[in-house]
Amino acid sequence: MKAEGKRRKAATVAALAAFCLLLSAFLLAAAGAQQLPPETIKLARIKQKAAENLSRIPDYTCLETVERSWRAPGWRGFTPIDTVRFEVAHVGGRELYSWPGARRVGEAPLASLVGFGVTGSGDFALRAGNIFLSRAPLFRYAGEENLGGRRALRYDYRVPLLSSNQTVSNFDRRAYVAYHGSFWADAETLELMRITSVADDIPPELEISSSNTQVDYGKVPIAGSDFLLPQRAELTMASRIDEDRNVTAFSQCRKYVARSAVSFDPRPEGVAAGQAAAVTEIELPAGLFLEIALQTPIDSNTSAVGDLIEAKLQTNVVYQEKVLAPAGAVVRGRLRRLEKLRAWDNVFLVGLQFNELEFPNLRARFQARLRDTEQRPGLTWQLPAGTPYGGSYQTGLRELPGVSTFFVRRSRVQLPQGFRMVWRTTGAGGPSR
């Protein structure tokens, strides 16, 4: 059923592209029969060019890096919160997301993957299709402007609610909204340069006063050909108490092949190329204490949420006089939070999630909670009462399942290689305190 759904969506995109090409051809032919305004003819050519580009883009994936920041009312500049990295794939007319280096992409919304903060989807490749492969927008020529040193034609557009596929969300609340905006195309080549979008009539229950998006486009090589794709996107979303901004960059774009698998693990000794090693899955009982040492340094200046992290087991894991895992076993996971807290100077919330313990021919799910760490300057388990987040690490913050957190009261987080931690296994039954 899923494969059939993908084929239908891909067929829909192709059909819409064909419709736009036919409509543009009709308008261009009509221009020969009667005098149409030059801006109308150019709009038809811009839509035709966009439809041709969108119709030939293969399924592909890119690394998406999002710098998130915020500001309070009256502030002139934005204050950084964190940086998030993930993979986004455009497959069969849909956007799919995964963490970098994950074994597969998923169909869950981006917000559920990241887990907290402002997220935006649809900027990867769908926004241009929504405007140029749809009958919904109403266009108006707005004149010629200079954009980045290039002559650009600007057109304004508006999409009513009944024809809109744009949503605005806040935590678990989501609603479709009407929207309007502009796009710019190169005056010579008629290639798309920028699209802006402003949400209209946002429902009050979302507690969002405005949501604006800007996407800049450029040529990107994929599989030996150049395609016009997003290169940078900026989302700003304001509420009555503050304003968030996400600045997104797209890089490392490549053709998406569903059958391919990416592995960052070295091949075990004695296993030939193309030959899979037999791996036995074991289970770690609840209540075991595991001492591990970080192998991947974490630095708030360079690290990002979603990065792969590794650690090594420092002592044997023994249960009922049997060694379940030896010292030196590799523990793998991800950095899930590296968030500079709002309205509090030089305080970071760090969240770690380890999910796999591996050693030759054996692997175990790493289900555990962080119980202790070596002492580091500024590292603390909770903030003093009376601070904006004081009293408990959960106060005013959303806890992510399976993620252990702590605070670092410094202007910069630096957890070096060798940073030691003690985790206690929870087993499949959940936390064990």
Which band of pLDDT confidence, cut at 50, 70 and 90, is reported for residue 35?
confident
pLDDT at 277: 57
pLDDT beyond 50 at 147: yes
- 3-class SS at 13? helix
Asked if residue 3 is part of any domain, the answer here is no
Asked if residue 268 is part of any domain, the answer here is no
pLDDT at 22: 52
The verdict on 186 and 313 lying in the same domain is no
pLDDT at 279: 76
Looking at beta carbons, which pairs linking 345-349 to residues 24 or more positions away fall under 8 Å? 346/409, 346/410, 346/411, 347/383, 347/389, 347/407, 347/408, 347/409, 348/300, 348/407, 348/408, 348/410, 348/413, 349/393, 349/397, 349/405, 349/406, 349/407
pLDDT tens digits along 185-199: 999 999 999 999 999
Q: Which residues contact 373 (CB under 8 A, 6 or more apart)?
A: 379, 406, 419, 420, 421, 422
Instruction: Note whether 393 and 381 are within 8 A (CB).
Output: yes
Instruction: Note whether 352 and 339 are within 8 A (CB).
Output: no
pLDDT tens digits along 322-372: 999 999 999 999 999 999 998 777 899 999 999 999 998 889 999 999 999
Instruction: Note whether 342 and 371 are within 8 A (CB).
Output: no
The verdict on 167 and 306 lying in the same domain is no
CATH number of domain containing 85 = 2.50.20
Asked if residue 265 is part of any domain, the answer here is no
The verdict on 223 and 80 lying in the same domain is yes
pLDDT beyond 70 at 20: no
Top-confidence range, 34-48, 270-284, 298-312: 298-312
The verdict on 143 and 234 lying in the same domain is yes
pLDDT at 385: 66
* Residue-number span of the structural domain to which 357 is assigned: 280-429
CA distance linking residue 94 with residue 234, whole number of Å: 20
Counting every residue, how long is the chain?
A: 433
Give the other-Cβ count within 10 Å of 360's Cβ. Answer: 12
CATH number of domain containing 348 = 2.40.128
Phi, psi of 135 (to 5 degrees): -90, -5
**Planar angle of CA 35, 36, 38, nearest 5 degrees:** 115
CA distance linking residue 374 with residue 185, whole number of Å: 56
Average pLDDT over the chain reads 83
Instruction: Note whether 431 and 363 are within 8 A (CB).
Output: no
pLDDT at 260: 41
Q: Which of residues 8 and 107 earns the better pLDDT score? A: 107
- 3-class SS at 297? coil
The verdict on 171 and 243 lying in the same domain is yes
- Percent of the chain residues past pLDDT 70, beyond the cut: 81
Token pair for residue 258? 């569903």
Asked if residue 299 is part of any domain, the answer here is yes
Which band of pLDDT confidence, cut at 50, 70 and 90, is reported for residue 26?
low
Asked if residue 2 is part of any domain, the answer here is no
Asked if residue 419 is part of any domain, the answer here is yes
Tally of structural domains, the chain: 2
pLDDT at 240: 85
**pTM of the entire structure?**
0.82
